[in-house]
């Protein structure tokens, strides 16, 4: 093994601290500790041990910290004076980690675990620390070994002990206190304790990450499913891929298993497949694998035991196989704990966890997730009915048939389900009326026709003959009309379809005058003929230029139909009015469509068919939005949702909710409610098998609603899950979605991924005729890269954005902001004469752009504000130069006091440094700064009260610069003039902050005299 030098070890430790947590970091930390021990440098060895302990802590190998901690403690006992105050504090702080690791390691005898706890107690007392952390550690050890009275005493003493600088942060302490409450069945108390952490008021490196996961089941048990969903979306995003948070990841998997989101649980499991292995930390392994077992058991119960899961130790495993191997491993760990602790508490809790029953049958999460594959053909839905069971009595069966017929005659959405139950119950009846079999065959033929089955005409012909044999002429007429519809649907020749329509109408007209349904059958035949004739005309002349005439003919026919049948068939007239509304839209007349669609919906409701009002109301809501009548649109959409209560079509349910969600989101103050409807819409589209279409748009809307409600993490999680679908809906949407995702990631301070989304969107726009979208995206990417500290990449992106903006010459403000950003980027590494000159050049370019734009539009307030801001920032650049020069002079003076040991390389580097500024040059720069700030302040004053803060900042900077020049009176005079001006303002025009801020500044300036 190559021996590392001290410098290499020091550099390695610095790199290791910045490395991602996990096995690779741990292995490197171990090697560095070994090299440091070999070097004989004890201080370096102690540093390496401390680094190794921290590496183990934030990984799945946290139990391995015991050995390096014991070594570090030995070093402390040998020479406490070698430990600085901070080093000693760190050592005692790590005692808490070790106490947890010992309690969580069944291989350490109980006597040793208790001994370590006593040692911690002793050392804390000697060092003068509070017993608070000791009692917390005692609580969890006592709980694990079943000493509940001792645990309760420790808990009380923990809360009573004073907090000091050895106490855990408040967020972590509240986590533990809440978990103790949950163990005693006090979910509500736990959530109240956790509230400051869950709300983001108290945070730390692992909170609220852990608590968002821990709170999931208590929330579900209390019926707070919406909060649980939110915590899952936020929390899993924080925990994903973090090795030290695998128990939290497991809680998210368990949550999915218990809320009908089993496939989502499988997806999370797949993302962490590399960690489904024998983890070194047995307590973490039991927690993580135990949660996975909840999912696997649920999948087995649903018949998915043979479904592929994830590999284990390199071998692919099905759900059944993975369950067996993880169950055996977890049970072994639990028994190890029991053997050490002398109690079955750990195994009892393990069994209780794995045997948990679902808390909700289905909880829509909003994120895209595939459905579990069907293990067997799904039976037709069978709604409950009075007397339903293995066999119905004749009376109950007859009642079921009558309900099915009433539903059929009303066009009720539940008709299919009722006839499906009739079919299930039919064979159990000793005698069945032939009419029942005919009606059932009719329903089945109708379903075949809707599906487009090729045997549908044959089935309908048989139905017609059945009814004819039974003497039901009105049903015969209806069957003939359906034959015409099936013929049109299958692409039959127009002449054939027209012949069938004429036959159906003749059959309807031939009905006995006493037949109650005669008028309805005639009306239905006429309306069907109108609808199909319009279709047939388009088939016969697909390329004709007289589509407008076709629409005019159709509108006239429908109008005549409404007038002829208004008093006899309200539901059919409602259909005709809806068609008239759609024709008006096709003709480009939305104002005419609005009342027609309203009349259609109202007529359907009065006819006792509210479900028929849903489609015209949804359409009307959309039209009203295009007409910029959002209040009426919202009323229509809410009415559609109300009337959709009995609609069984999943797609229709999705459309209704998506429509209302969109309207509410555009309202601007109802993002929370919009999110609720978008979430439900996504669920319904998924049920309809439209996840990639309507479901994707619902998720996009849900993400926008979450973002509008300040829930950026949830918005990003939902949007990323639907990204693959949304990108398939055209370049315009792909660009919009990626930009939106970039904005969300930037809000979450995920800057590199944000920049990636902006750049990917820009790539899509590179061939567009208009360069402005690409310019804006490149600019956003540059800002994100700049904020991420990636100066080289940011400069390149700014350069490209500037080039694109200049192609248009239409966005001077964007150009200016890019130039200013480039100016500051040039000063990021060092401030020298050369870099300041480069920054000045960029700022002056920005001024030229603005002056040119103002020449064309002298009064533009936005341009004038940007000009003032540019002068302000140029002054700041010069001020940076002056102060950097002062610091370099101080450094040079300190170096002169030391022995001159310059090497040739150092001499060359020194030669490259800028010549220090002379006092005259410094004063000239300060005078220029003052002039620039004064110039900016004058523009801000002209722009009025909205720029008062900017003006005050300019005057503040100018005053302090006067002070630095030794002219304190000039600085004070500026501020006094502002104070006098402020006091002269009318009371209502004077901002509350201005006078106190100005008077405070004046006092500070005078104190420095």
Three-state SS across 9-52?
HHHHHHHHHHCCCCHHHHHHHHHHHHHHHHHCCHHHHHHHHHHH
Q: How far apart are CA 970 and CA 975, in angstroms?
A: 9
Of 312-321, 771-780, 849-858, 964-973, which range is least confident? 964-973
- Select from 212, 316, 224, 304 the least CA-distant residue to 263: 304
Q: How far apart are CA 717 and CA 701, in angstroms?
A: 13
**How many helical (H) and strand (E) elements, i.e. helices and strands, does the chain have?**
46, 0
Q: Summarize the confidence of residues 283-309 as an average pLDDT.
A: 96
Say whether pLDDT at 968 is over 90: no
- DSSP character at residue 512: -
Alpha carbons within 13 angstroms on the beta-carbon side of residue 931 total 7
Tens digits of residue pLDDT in 813-850: 999 999 999 999 999 888 989 999 999 999 999 999 99
3-state secondary structure string across 700-744 = HHHHHHHHHCCCHHHHHHHHHHHHHHHCCCCHHHHHHHHHHHHHH
Could you tell me how far CA 907 lies from the centroid of its own chain? 55
Confidence of residue 913 (pLDDT cuts 50, 70, 90): very low
Question: What is the structure's pLDDT at 538?
Answer: 82
Residue reference for tokens 């007392």: 125
Backbone torsions φ then ψ of 207, nearest 5 degrees: -130, 135
Question: What is the structure's pLDDT at 912?
Answer: 40
Question: What is the structure's pLDDT at 885?
Answer: 82
Tell me the β-bridge partners of 653: none
Q: How far apart are CA 584 and CA 554, in angstroms?
A: 10
Tens digits of residue pLDDT in 80-98: 999 999 999 999 989 888 8
Q: How far apart are CA 674 and CA 300, in angstroms?
A: 37
Confidence of residue 897 (pLDDT cuts 50, 70, 90): very low
Q: How far apart are CA 794 and CA 782, in angstroms?
A: 4
450 token code pair: 């809707």
Residues 6+ apart with CB under 8 A from 608: 410
Say whether pLDDT at 418 is over 90: yes
Say whether pLDDT at 380 is over 70: no
Question: What is the structure's pLDDT at 563?
Answer: 93
238 token code pair: 């924080």
Q: How far apart are CA 117 and CA 908, in angstroms?
A: 59
Tens digits of residue pLDDT in 773-809: 999 999 999 999 999 999 999 999 999 999 999 988 7
Of 239-248, 317-326, 384-393, which range is least confident? 384-393
SS3 (DSSP) at 259: coil
Task: Give percent above pLDDT 70 in the chain.
Answer: 94
Confidence of residue 969 (pLDDT cuts 50, 70, 90): confident
Task: Give percent above pLDDT 90 in the chain.
Answer: 76
CA torsion 62-66-70-72 (nearest 10°) is -10
Q: How far apart are CA 261 and CA 257, in angstroms?
A: 6
CA torsion 276-278-280-282 (nearest 10°) is 90
CA torsion through residues 958, 962, 963, 964, sign = positive
- Select from 59, 63, 64, 132 the least CA-distant residue to 92: 132
Cβ contact 231:198 at 8 Å: yes
Tens digits of residue pLDDT in 232-290: 999 999 999 888 899 999 999 999 999 999 999 999 999 999 989 888 889 999 999 99
Say whether pLDDT at 560 is over 80: yes
Question: What is the structure's pLDDT at 914?
Answer: 46
Say whether pLDDT at 543 is over 70: no
Q: How far apart are CA 302 and CA 296, in angstroms?
A: 10
Q: Which residue has the higher pLDDT, 890 or 613?
A: 613
Burial of 796 (0-12, 13-18, 19+ CB in 10 A): middle
Say whether pLDDT at 607 is over 50: yes
- Helix residue ranges per DSSP H, 727-860: 731-747, 751-765, 772-787, 791-808, 812-825, 833-856
Question: What is the structure's pLDDT at 984?
Answer: 87
C-alpha distances in Å from residue 123, one per residue of 87, 92, 360, 643: 15, 8, 49, 71
Mean pLDDT of the residues in the chain: 90
Question: What is the structure's pLDDT at 65?
Answer: 86
- Select from 185, 184, 244 the least CA-distant residue to 213: 244
SS3 (DSSP) at 135: helix
Question: What is the structure's pLDDT at 12?
Answer: 92
Helix (H) or strand (E) holding 889: helix 861-896
Cβ contact 212:231 at 8 Å: yes
Question: What is the structure's pLDDT at 66?
Answer: 85
Tens digits of residue pLDDT in 14-54: 999 988 888 899 999 999 999 998 998 898 999 999 899 88
Q: How far apart are CA 432 and CA 442, in angstroms?
A: 16
Say whether pLDDT at 387 is over 60: no
CA torsion 569-573-575-578 (nearest 10°) is -160
Question: What is the structure's pLDDT at 907?
Answer: 36
534 token code pair: 């319009």
Q: How far apart are CA 397 and CA 429, in angstroms?
A: 8
Say whether pLDDT at 548 is over 70: no
Confidence of residue 444 (pLDDT cuts 50, 70, 90): very high
Q: How far apart are the first and last CA of the chain?
A: 65
Question: What is the structure's pLDDT at 990?
Answer: 84
* Predicted structure pTM score: 0.85
Say whether pLDDT at 618 is over 50: yes
Say whether pLDDT at 331 is over 60: yes
Q: Summarize the confidence of residues 723-732 as an average pLDDT.
A: 95
Confidence of residue 397 (pLDDT cuts 50, 70, 90): very high
Say whether pLDDT at 730 is over 90: yes
Cβ contact 505:522 at 8 Å: yes
Q: How far apart are CA 531 and CA 534, in angstroms?
A: 6
- State the Rg of the chain over Cα: 38
Question: What is the structure's pLDDT at 4?
Answer: 87
Residues 6+ apart with CB under 8 A from 223: none
SS3 (DSSP) at 509: helix
Question: What is the structure's pLDDT at 888?
Answer: 58
Say whether pLDDT at 372 is over 80: no
Tens digits of residue pLDDT in 352-365: 999 999 999 999 99
């Amino acid at each position: 093994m190559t021996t590392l030098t001290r410098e290499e070890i020091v550099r390695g430790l610095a790199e290791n601290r910045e490395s991602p947590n996990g096995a690779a970091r741990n292995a490197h930390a171990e090697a560095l500790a070994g090299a440091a021990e070999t070097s004989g440098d004890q201080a370096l060895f102690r540093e390496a041990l401390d680094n190794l302990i921290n590496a183990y802590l934030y990984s799945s190998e946290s139990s391995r910290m015991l050995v390096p901690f014991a070594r570090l403690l030995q070093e402390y006992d040998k020479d406490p004076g070698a430990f600085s105050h901070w080093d000693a504090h760190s050592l005692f702080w790590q005692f808490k980690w070790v106490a947890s690791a010992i309690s969580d390691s069944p291989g350490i005898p109980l006597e040793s675990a208790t001994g370590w706890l006593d040692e911690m107690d002793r050392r804390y007392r000697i060092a003068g620390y509070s017993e608070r952390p000791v009692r917390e550690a005692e609580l969890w050890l006592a709980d694990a070994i079943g000493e509940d009275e001792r645990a309760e005493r420790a808990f009380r003493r923990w809360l009573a002990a004073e907090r000091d600088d050895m106490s855990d942060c408040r967020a972590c302490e509240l986590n533990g206190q809440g978990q103790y409450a949950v163990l005693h069945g006090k979910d509500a108390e736990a959530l109240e304790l956790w509230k400051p952490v869950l709300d983001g008021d108290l945070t730390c490196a692992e909170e609220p990450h852990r608590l968002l996961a821990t709170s999931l089941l208590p929330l579900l048990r209390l019926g707070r499913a919406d909060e649980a969903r939110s915590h899952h979306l936020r929390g899993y995003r924080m925990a994903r891929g973090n090795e030290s948070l695998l128990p939290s990841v497991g809680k998210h998997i368990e949550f999915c298993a218990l809320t009908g989101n089993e496939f989502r649980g499988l997806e999370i499991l797949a993302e962490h497949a590399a960690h489904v292995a024998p983890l070194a930390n047995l307590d973490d392994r039991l927690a993580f694998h135990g949660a996975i077992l909840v999912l696997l058991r649920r999948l087995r119960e649903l018949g998915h035991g043979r479904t592929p899961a994830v590999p284990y130790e390199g071998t692919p495993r099905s759900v059944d196989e993975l369950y067996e191997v993880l169950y055996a491993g977890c049970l072994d760990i639990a028994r190890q704990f029991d053997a050490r602790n002398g109690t079955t508490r750990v195994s009892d809790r393990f069994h209780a966890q794995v045997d948990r029953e679902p808390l909700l049958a289905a909880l829509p999460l909003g994120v895209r997730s595939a459905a579990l594959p069907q293990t067997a053909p799904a039976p037709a839905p069978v709604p409950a009915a009075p007397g339903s069971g293995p066999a119905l009595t004749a009376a109950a069966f007859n009642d079921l048939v009558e309900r099915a017929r009433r539903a059929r005659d009303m066009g009720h959405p539940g008709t299919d389900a009722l006839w499906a139950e009739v079919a299930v119950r039919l064979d159990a009846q000793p005698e069945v009326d032939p009419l029942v079999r005919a009606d059932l065959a009719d329903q089945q033929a109708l379903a075949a026709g809707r599906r487009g089955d090729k045997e549908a005409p044959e089935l309908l012909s048989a139905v017609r003959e059945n009814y004819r044999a039974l003497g039901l002429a009105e049903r015969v007429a209806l069957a003939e009309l359906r034959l015409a519809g099936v013929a049109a649907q299958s692409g039959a020749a127009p002449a054939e379809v027209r012949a069938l329509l004429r036959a159906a109408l003749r059959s309807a007209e031939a009905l006995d005058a006493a037949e109650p349904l005669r008028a309805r059958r005639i009306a239905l035949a006429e309306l069907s003929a109108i609808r199909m004739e319009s279709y047939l005309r388009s088939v016969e002349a697909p390329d004709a230029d007289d589509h407008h005439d076709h629409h005019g003919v159709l509108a006239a026919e429908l109008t005549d139909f409404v007038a002829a049948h208004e008093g006899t068939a309200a539901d059919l007239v409602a259909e005709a009015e809806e068609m008239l509304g759609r024709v008006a839209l096709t003709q480009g007349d939305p104002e005419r469509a609005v009342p027609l669609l309203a009349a259609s919906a109202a007529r359907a409701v009065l006819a006792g068919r509210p479900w028929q009002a849903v489609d015209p109301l949804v359409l009307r809501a959309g039209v009203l939005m295009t007409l910029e009548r959002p209040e009426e649109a919202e009323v229509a959409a809410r009415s559609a949702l109300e009337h959709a209560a009995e609609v069984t079509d999943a797609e229709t349910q999705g459309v209704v909710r998506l429509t209302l969600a969109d309207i509410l989101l555009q309202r601007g103050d109802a993002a929370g409610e919009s999110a609720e409807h978008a979430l439900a819409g996504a669920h319904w589209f998924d049920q309809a098998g439209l996840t990639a279409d309507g479901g994707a748009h619902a998720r996009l809307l849900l993400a926008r609603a979450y973002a509008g409600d300040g829930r950026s993490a949830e918005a990003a999680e939902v949007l990323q899950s639907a990204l693959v679908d949304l990108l398939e809906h055209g370049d315009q949407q792909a660009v919009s979605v990626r930009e939106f995702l970039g904005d969300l990631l930037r809000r979450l301070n995920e800057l590199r991924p944000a920049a990636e989304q902006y750049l990917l969107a820009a790539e899509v726009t590179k061939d567009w005729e208009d360069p402005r979208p690409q310019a804006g995206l490149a600019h956003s990417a540059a800002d994100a890269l700049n904020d991420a500290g990636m100066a080289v990449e940011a400069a390149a992106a700014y350069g490209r954005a500037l080039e694109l903006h200049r192609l248009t010459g239409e966005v001077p403000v964007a150009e200016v902001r890019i130039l200013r950003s480039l100016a500051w980027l040039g000063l990021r590494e060092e401030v020298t004469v050369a870099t300041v000159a480069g920054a000045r050049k960029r700022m002056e370019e920005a001024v030229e752009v603005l002056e040119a734009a103002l020449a064309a539009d002298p009064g533009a307030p936005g341009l004038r504000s940007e000009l003032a801001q540019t002068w302000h920032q140029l002054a700041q650049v010069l001020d940076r130069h002056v102060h950097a020069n002062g610091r370099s002079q101080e450094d040079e003076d300190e170096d002169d006091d030391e022995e001159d040991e310059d090497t040739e390389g150092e001499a060359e580097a020194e030669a490259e440094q800028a010549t220090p500024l002379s006092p005259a040059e410094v004063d000239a720069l300060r005078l220029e700064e003052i002039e620039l700030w004064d110039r900016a302040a004058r523009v801000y004053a002209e722009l009025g009260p909205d720029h008062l803060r900017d003006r005050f900042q300019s005057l503040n900077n100018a005053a302090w610069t006067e002070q630095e020049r030794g002219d304190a009176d000039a600085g004070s005079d500026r501020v006094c003039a502002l104070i006098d001006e402020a006091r002269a303002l009318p009371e209502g025009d004077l901002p509350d902050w201005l006078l106190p801020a100005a008077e405070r500044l004046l006092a500070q300036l005078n104190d420095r005299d």
